[in-house]
Structure 1
């Protein structure tokens, strides 16, 4: 995989960490698996938070008020 330096436009050889012409750092490819795992964790946390809010709302509405005649 050859590419081009974003800083100076020089041609790069595969697996190069820095540009041989200008010395600029070359960004590597981003792996998909860590990003997918992070997004899954975020989705699960949000879903858990939303379910917790619904459970709390359901508990407070399910209790019937006590009338004065029952006391």
Structure 2
């Protein structure tokens, strides 16, 4: 959305993005092999944060959905 609304970004690098995507897929696969239940729990929590209710999906912006995360408790 940022790319399409801001007319593109000179920092966008598809090679870097593909590399990050591939690493995340490998991480998810490893997590699933280690503990399918914890993998499911993680994605269930992420789904609830982003798509918790149909009403939230229709009304909340991405920025306002950040309120559902405890960013202060996360390591920098």
**TM-score scaled to structure 1, two decimals?**
0.35
The higher radius of gyration belongs to 1
Question: In proportion to residue count, which structure has more strand?
Answer: 1
Question: In proportion to residue count, which structure has more helix?
Answer: 2
**TM-score scaled to structure 2, two decimals?**
0.33
